[in-house]
Amino acid sequence: MKIGYRTIKTAIGTPIAISIAQFLDLTNFVSAGILTILCIQPSRKKSFLSAWHRFFACILAILFSFIFFETIGYNTIAVALMLIAFIPTTVFLKITPGIATSSVITLNLYSFSNMSSTFIIEQLLIIIIGIGTAFLLNLYMPSLDVDLKKQQNKLEANFKIILYEIALYIRNKNVSWDGKEVSETEEILQEAEDLVERDRENHLLRSKHPYHEYFKMRTRQFELLQRMLPLVTKLPNKDSISEKIAVFFENLSESVHPENTAALFLDDLEELRSEFNQEDLPETQEEFETRANLFRLLHEIEDYLNLKRKYKKSDIKRKSSVE
Protein backbone atom coordinates (compact mmCIF):
# COMPACT_ATOMS: atom_id res chain seq x y z
CA MET A 1 0.00 0.00 0.00
CA LYS A 2 1.38 3.38 -1.06
CA ILE A 3 1.54 6.12 1.58
CA GLY A 4 0.62 9.51 0.06
CA TYR A 5 2.48 12.72 0.75
CA ARG A 6 -0.60 14.20 2.48
CA THR A 7 -0.44 11.35 4.98
CA ILE A 8 3.26 11.98 5.55
CA LYS A 9 2.65 15.72 6.01
CA THR A 10 -0.13 15.02 8.50
CA ALA A 11 2.08 12.60 10.41
CA ILE A 12 4.88 15.19 10.57
CA GLY A 13 2.82 18.32 11.13
CA THR A 14 0.47 17.09 13.85
CA PRO A 15 3.11 16.28 16.49
CA ILE A 16 5.04 19.45 15.58
CA ALA A 17 1.97 21.63 16.16
CA ILE A 18 1.15 19.84 19.43
CA SER A 19 4.76 20.13 20.62
CA ILE A 20 4.88 23.88 19.93
CA ALA A 21 1.56 24.46 21.71
CA GLN A 22 2.65 22.26 24.60
CA PHE A 23 6.00 24.07 24.84
CA LEU A 24 4.11 27.39 25.15
CA ASP A 25 2.02 25.76 27.90
CA LEU A 26 -1.26 26.47 26.10
CA THR A 27 -4.51 25.10 27.46
CA ASN A 28 -5.89 22.23 25.38
CA PHE A 29 -2.70 22.14 23.30
CA VAL A 30 -3.88 19.06 21.38
CA SER A 31 -6.29 21.32 19.46
CA ALA A 32 -3.30 22.67 17.52
CA GLY A 33 -2.70 19.17 16.17
CA ILE A 34 -6.37 18.78 15.24
CA LEU A 35 -6.26 22.07 13.30
CA THR A 36 -3.15 20.91 11.44
CA ILE A 37 -4.86 17.66 10.44
CA LEU A 38 -7.86 19.59 9.11
CA CYS A 39 -5.71 22.05 7.16
CA ILE A 40 -3.44 19.75 5.12
CA GLN A 41 -4.33 20.34 1.45
CA PRO A 42 -3.44 18.69 -1.90
CA SER A 43 -2.17 21.87 -3.61
CA ARG A 44 -0.58 25.24 -2.85
CA LYS A 45 -3.57 27.19 -4.15
CA LYS A 46 -5.97 25.25 -1.95
CA SER A 47 -3.53 25.72 0.91
CA PHE A 48 -3.59 29.52 0.57
CA LEU A 49 -7.38 29.58 0.36
CA SER A 50 -7.77 27.06 3.17
CA ALA A 51 -5.50 28.99 5.53
CA TRP A 52 -7.40 32.22 4.92
CA HIS A 53 -10.87 30.64 5.17
CA ARG A 54 -10.05 28.73 8.33
CA PHE A 55 -8.28 31.59 10.08
CA PHE A 56 -11.11 34.01 9.33
CA ALA A 57 -13.72 31.44 10.40
CA CYS A 58 -11.90 30.81 13.68
CA ILE A 59 -11.76 34.53 14.50
CA LEU A 60 -15.45 34.79 13.66
CA ALA A 61 -16.20 31.76 15.84
CA ILE A 62 -14.52 33.41 18.83
CA LEU A 63 -16.65 36.52 18.31
CA PHE A 64 -19.89 34.53 17.98
CA SER A 65 -18.98 32.36 20.98
CA PHE A 66 -18.37 35.43 23.11
CA ILE A 67 -21.74 36.92 22.15
CA PHE A 68 -23.83 33.77 22.65
CA PHE A 69 -22.04 32.16 25.61
CA GLU A 70 -21.75 35.35 27.60
CA THR A 71 -25.35 36.33 26.82
CA ILE A 72 -27.21 33.00 27.08
CA GLY A 73 -24.72 30.99 29.13
CA TYR A 74 -22.45 28.01 28.66
CA ASN A 75 -25.09 25.42 27.77
CA THR A 76 -26.10 23.31 24.81
CA ILE A 77 -28.89 25.71 23.82
CA ALA A 78 -26.32 28.48 23.41
CA VAL A 79 -24.17 26.14 21.28
CA ALA A 80 -27.15 25.31 19.05
CA LEU A 81 -28.18 28.97 18.61
CA MET A 82 -24.58 30.00 18.03
CA LEU A 83 -24.19 27.41 15.22
CA ILE A 84 -27.54 28.40 13.70
CA ALA A 85 -26.21 31.95 13.36
CA PHE A 86 -22.57 31.11 12.64
CA ILE A 87 -22.90 28.55 9.82
CA PRO A 88 -25.13 30.72 7.54
CA THR A 89 -22.69 33.57 8.12
CA THR A 90 -19.77 31.46 6.88
CA VAL A 91 -21.85 30.47 3.85
CA PHE A 92 -22.59 34.14 3.13
CA LEU A 93 -18.91 35.06 3.50
CA LYS A 94 -17.88 32.00 1.42
CA ILE A 95 -15.61 30.58 4.11
CA THR A 96 -17.46 27.30 4.74
CA PRO A 97 -14.20 25.23 4.68
CA GLY A 98 -13.46 26.88 8.03
CA ILE A 99 -16.52 25.48 9.79
CA ALA A 100 -14.76 22.33 11.01
CA THR A 101 -11.66 24.10 12.31
CA SER A 102 -13.63 26.90 13.95
CA SER A 103 -15.79 24.28 15.68
CA VAL A 104 -12.67 23.09 17.51
CA ILE A 105 -12.15 26.56 18.93
CA THR A 106 -15.85 26.98 19.75
CA LEU A 107 -15.93 23.71 21.70
CA ASN A 108 -12.74 24.68 23.53
CA LEU A 109 -14.39 27.89 24.69
CA TYR A 110 -17.54 26.00 25.64
CA SER A 111 -15.83 23.17 27.51
CA PHE A 112 -13.66 25.52 29.58
CA SER A 113 -16.48 28.05 30.11
CA ASN A 114 -13.90 30.76 29.89
CA MET A 115 -13.87 33.91 27.77
CA SER A 116 -11.09 35.75 29.56
CA SER A 117 -8.62 37.70 27.47
CA THR A 118 -5.83 35.29 28.46
CA PHE A 119 -7.78 32.23 27.32
CA ILE A 120 -8.82 33.92 24.04
CA ILE A 121 -5.17 34.79 23.36
CA GLU A 122 -4.30 31.13 23.94
CA GLN A 123 -6.94 30.09 21.40
CA LEU A 124 -5.54 32.58 18.92
CA LEU A 125 -2.08 31.07 19.40
CA ILE A 126 -3.51 27.57 18.87
CA ILE A 127 -5.12 28.79 15.64
CA ILE A 128 -1.87 30.33 14.42
CA ILE A 129 0.19 27.26 15.35
CA GLY A 130 -2.23 24.71 13.90
CA ILE A 131 -3.06 26.51 10.65
CA GLY A 132 0.47 27.92 10.30
CA THR A 133 2.13 24.50 10.63
CA ALA A 134 -0.14 23.03 7.97
CA PHE A 135 0.39 26.04 5.71
CA LEU A 136 4.20 25.75 5.90
CA LEU A 137 4.06 22.03 5.15
CA ASN A 138 1.71 22.67 2.24
CA LEU A 139 4.27 24.95 0.63
CA TYR A 140 6.15 21.80 -0.36
CA MET A 141 4.38 19.98 -3.15
CA PRO A 142 6.12 17.13 -4.99
CA SER A 143 6.40 17.50 -8.75
CA LEU A 144 3.73 15.68 -10.72
CA ASP A 145 5.81 15.59 -13.93
CA VAL A 146 6.66 11.90 -13.48
CA ASP A 147 2.99 10.97 -12.98
CA LEU A 148 1.93 13.10 -15.94
CA LYS A 149 4.58 11.50 -18.15
CA LYS A 150 3.31 8.05 -17.14
CA GLN A 151 -0.22 9.06 -18.10
CA GLN A 152 1.08 10.38 -21.41
CA ASN A 153 2.87 7.11 -22.17
CA LYS A 154 -0.16 5.01 -21.23
CA LEU A 155 -2.42 7.21 -23.33
CA GLU A 156 -0.20 7.03 -26.41
CA ALA A 157 0.12 3.25 -26.05
CA ASN A 158 -3.67 2.96 -26.08
CA PHE A 159 -3.96 5.29 -29.07
CA LYS A 160 -1.54 3.05 -30.97
CA ILE A 161 -3.61 -0.04 -30.18
CA ILE A 162 -6.91 1.60 -31.13
CA LEU A 163 -5.53 2.86 -34.46
CA TYR A 164 -3.93 -0.51 -35.21
CA GLU A 165 -7.15 -2.38 -34.39
CA ILE A 166 -9.03 -0.06 -36.76
CA ALA A 167 -6.52 -0.97 -39.48
CA LEU A 168 -7.02 -4.69 -38.78
CA TYR A 169 -10.78 -4.37 -38.94
CA ILE A 170 -10.71 -2.45 -42.21
CA ARG A 171 -8.36 -5.02 -43.72
CA ASN A 172 -9.92 -8.35 -42.65
CA LYS A 173 -12.94 -7.55 -40.45
CA ASN A 174 -11.05 -8.69 -37.37
CA VAL A 175 -13.54 -8.77 -34.46
CA SER A 176 -11.36 -10.33 -31.74
CA TRP A 177 -10.56 -6.96 -30.16
CA ASP A 178 -12.48 -6.43 -26.91
CA GLY A 179 -12.09 -2.64 -27.02
CA LYS A 180 -10.86 -2.34 -23.43
CA GLU A 181 -8.40 0.37 -24.49
CA VAL A 182 -11.33 2.66 -25.22
CA SER A 183 -12.65 2.58 -21.65
CA GLU A 184 -9.09 2.69 -20.29
CA THR A 185 -8.38 5.81 -22.33
CA GLU A 186 -11.39 7.57 -20.85
CA GLU A 187 -10.06 6.85 -17.36
CA ILE A 188 -6.53 7.93 -18.27
CA LEU A 189 -7.75 11.25 -19.68
CA GLN A 190 -9.81 11.94 -16.56
CA GLU A 191 -6.91 11.10 -14.26
CA ALA A 192 -4.57 13.23 -16.36
CA GLU A 193 -6.98 16.15 -16.24
CA ASP A 194 -7.09 15.93 -12.44
CA LEU A 195 -3.29 15.76 -12.23
CA VAL A 196 -2.87 18.75 -14.55
CA GLU A 197 -5.33 20.82 -12.53
CA ARG A 198 -3.59 19.93 -9.26
CA ASP A 199 -0.17 20.71 -10.74
CA ARG A 200 -1.43 24.05 -12.06
CA GLU A 201 -2.59 24.90 -8.54
CA ASN A 202 0.91 24.14 -7.28
CA HIS A 203 2.47 26.66 -9.68
CA LEU A 204 0.49 29.83 -9.07
CA LEU A 205 2.82 32.08 -11.06
CA ARG A 206 2.96 29.86 -14.16
CA SER A 207 0.48 31.03 -16.80
CA LYS A 208 0.74 27.93 -19.02
CA HIS A 209 1.06 24.29 -18.12
CA PRO A 210 3.16 22.08 -20.45
CA TYR A 211 0.68 19.20 -20.31
CA HIS A 212 -2.59 21.15 -20.31
CA GLU A 213 -2.82 21.71 -24.07
CA TYR A 214 -1.44 18.23 -24.78
CA PHE A 215 -4.15 16.35 -22.89
CA LYS A 216 -6.79 18.75 -24.17
CA MET A 217 -5.70 17.91 -27.72
CA ARG A 218 -5.69 14.16 -27.00
CA THR A 219 -9.17 14.39 -25.48
CA ARG A 220 -10.55 15.91 -28.67
CA GLN A 221 -8.67 13.36 -30.78
CA PHE A 222 -10.13 10.56 -28.70
CA GLU A 223 -13.64 11.90 -29.35
CA LEU A 224 -12.89 11.70 -33.07
CA LEU A 225 -11.58 8.13 -32.73
CA GLN A 226 -14.82 7.17 -31.04
CA ARG A 227 -16.72 8.66 -33.98
CA MET A 228 -14.54 6.72 -36.45
CA LEU A 229 -15.18 3.31 -34.90
CA PRO A 230 -18.77 2.88 -36.17
CA LEU A 231 -17.76 4.21 -39.60
CA VAL A 232 -15.08 1.58 -40.21
CA THR A 233 -17.61 -1.18 -39.53
CA LYS A 234 -19.55 -0.02 -42.60
CA LEU A 235 -16.68 -0.23 -45.07
CA PRO A 236 -16.75 -2.91 -47.80
CA ASN A 237 -15.10 -6.29 -47.19
CA LYS A 238 -12.51 -5.81 -49.90
CA ASP A 239 -11.79 -2.62 -51.75
CA SER A 240 -8.60 -0.94 -53.02
CA ILE A 241 -9.36 2.31 -51.25
CA SER A 242 -10.25 0.47 -48.04
CA GLU A 243 -6.90 -1.34 -48.11
CA LYS A 244 -5.05 1.95 -48.55
CA ILE A 245 -6.98 3.44 -45.64
CA ALA A 246 -6.03 0.38 -43.56
CA VAL A 247 -2.36 0.97 -44.39
CA PHE A 248 -2.83 4.64 -43.50
CA PHE A 249 -4.21 3.76 -40.05
CA GLU A 250 -1.45 1.22 -39.53
CA ASN A 251 1.21 3.82 -40.30
CA LEU A 252 -0.59 6.33 -38.11
CA SER A 253 -0.59 3.87 -35.20
CA GLU A 254 3.18 3.60 -35.44
CA SER A 255 3.59 7.36 -35.24
CA VAL A 256 1.75 8.24 -32.04
CA HIS A 257 4.16 10.37 -29.99
CA PRO A 258 4.40 13.87 -28.47
CA GLU A 259 6.16 15.28 -31.54
CA ASN A 260 4.16 16.82 -34.36
CA THR A 261 4.50 14.93 -37.64
CA ALA A 262 0.89 15.41 -38.69
CA ALA A 263 1.96 17.26 -41.82
CA LEU A 264 3.28 14.04 -43.40
CA PHE A 265 -0.01 12.26 -42.84
CA LEU A 266 -2.00 15.22 -44.10
CA ASP A 267 -0.09 14.93 -47.38
CA ASP A 268 -0.84 11.21 -47.55
CA LEU A 269 -4.47 11.97 -46.80
CA GLU A 270 -4.64 14.40 -49.71
CA GLU A 271 -3.39 11.65 -52.01
CA LEU A 272 -6.00 9.25 -50.60
CA ARG A 273 -8.75 11.77 -51.15
CA SER A 274 -7.54 12.39 -54.70
CA GLU A 275 -7.71 8.66 -55.46
CA PHE A 276 -11.07 8.47 -53.80
CA ASN A 277 -12.44 11.23 -56.06
CA GLN A 278 -11.19 9.40 -59.15
CA GLU A 279 -13.21 6.28 -58.35
CA ASP A 280 -16.25 5.49 -60.49
CA LEU A 281 -19.51 6.94 -59.29
CA PRO A 282 -21.57 4.57 -57.12
CA GLU A 283 -24.28 2.67 -58.97
CA THR A 284 -26.19 1.04 -56.10
CA GLN A 285 -27.56 2.22 -52.77
CA GLU A 286 -25.01 0.10 -50.93
CA GLU A 287 -22.10 1.56 -52.93
CA PHE A 288 -23.42 5.06 -52.32
CA GLU A 289 -23.61 4.48 -48.53
CA THR A 290 -20.13 2.96 -48.53
CA ARG A 291 -18.76 5.96 -50.43
CA ALA A 292 -20.48 8.32 -47.98
CA ASN A 293 -18.96 6.49 -45.00
CA LEU A 294 -15.53 6.61 -46.60
CA PHE A 295 -15.92 10.32 -47.18
CA ARG A 296 -16.93 10.89 -43.54
CA LEU A 297 -14.05 8.74 -42.31
CA LEU A 298 -11.52 10.74 -44.32
CA HIS A 299 -13.01 13.92 -42.90
CA GLU A 300 -12.70 12.63 -39.31
CA ILE A 301 -9.08 11.59 -39.94
CA GLU A 302 -8.29 15.05 -41.28
CA ASP A 303 -9.79 16.67 -38.17
CA TYR A 304 -7.77 14.25 -36.02
CA LEU A 305 -4.53 15.26 -37.74
CA ASN A 306 -5.33 18.97 -37.74
CA LEU A 307 -5.75 18.87 -33.97
CA LYS A 308 -2.17 17.62 -33.66
CA ARG A 309 -0.95 20.10 -36.26
CA LYS A 310 -2.43 23.02 -34.28
CA TYR A 311 -1.17 21.67 -30.95
CA LYS A 312 2.46 22.66 -31.56
CA LYS A 313 4.84 23.77 -34.27
CA SER A 314 5.44 21.04 -36.82
CA ASP A 315 8.63 19.02 -36.45
CA ILE A 316 8.75 18.45 -40.22
CA LYS A 317 7.65 20.27 -43.36
CA ARG A 318 4.80 19.31 -45.63
CA LYS A 319 5.65 18.20 -49.10
CA SER A 320 3.59 21.01 -50.60
CA SER A 321 5.64 23.61 -48.69
CA VAL A 322 8.92 22.12 -49.95
CA GLU A 323 7.97 21.88 -53.59
Residue 48 has pLDDT above 70, yes or no: yes
| Sequence-separated (6 or more) residues with CB below 8 Å from residue 9 | 40, 134, 137, 138, 140
Name the least confident of 12-16, 259-263, 308-312: 259-263
pLDDT exceeds 80 at position 193: yes
Give residue 309's pLDDT band: very low, low, confident or very high (50, 70, 90). Answer: confident
Residue 45 has pLDDT above 50, yes or no: yes
Amino acid at site 173 = K
Q: What is the pLDDT of residue 236?
A: 64
Burial of 320 (0-12, 13-18, 19+ CB in 10 A): exposed
CA distance 95 to 228: 47
pLDDT tens-digit map of 140-165: 877 788 889 999 999 999 999 999 98
pLDDT above 70 covers a percentage of the chain that reads 88
The domain limits of the chain are: 5-138, 145-322
Q: Does residue 97 carry a pLDDT above 60? A: yes
Cα separation, 190 vs 187, whole angstroms: 5
Domain 145-322 of CATH type 1.20.120.940: yes
Amino acid at 62: I
Cα 295 from Cα 300, distance rounded (Å):
9
- Give me the percent of the chain exceeding a pLDDT of 90: 39
| Mean pLDDT of the 192-216 span | 79
Mean pLDDT of the chain: 84
Enter the pTM of the model. 0.68
Whether the Cβ atoms of residue 124 and residue 187 lie closer than 8 Å to each other:
no
Q: pLDDT grade, residue 318 (50/70/90)?
A: very low
Residue 258, pLDDT score: 75
Q: Residue 286: its pLDDT value, please?
A: 65
Whole-angstrom CA distances from 110 to 31, 61, 88, 257, 276 are 14, 11, 20, 62, 82
Which candidate, 179, 197, 286, 304, places its Cα nearest to that of 249? 304
Q: What digits encode the pLDDT tens for the residues 214-226?
A: 899 999 999 999 9
Question: Distance between alpha carbon 64 and the CA centroid of its chain, in Å?
Answer: 38
177 neighbors 168 (Cβ within 8 angstroms): yes
Using one digit for the tens of pLDDT, what is the confidence trace for 211-262?
A: 888 899 999 999 999 998 888 877 765 566 778 888 888 888 888 887 777 7
**For the residues of 24-44, what is the DSSP string, one character each?**
TT-TTTHHHHHHHHHH--SSH
Residue type, 172: N
pLDDT score for 41: 82
pLDDT confidence tier of residue 314, bands split at 50, 70 and 90:
low
Query: For residues 5 and 142, is the Cβ–Cβ distance under 8 A?
Result: yes
pLDDT at position 275 is: 75
Cα–Cα dist 14/30, whole Å:
9
Among 43, 37, 186, 160, CA closest to 100? 37
Burial group, residue 22, by CB count within 10 angstroms (0-12, 13-18, 19+):
middle
d(CA 50, CA 134): 10
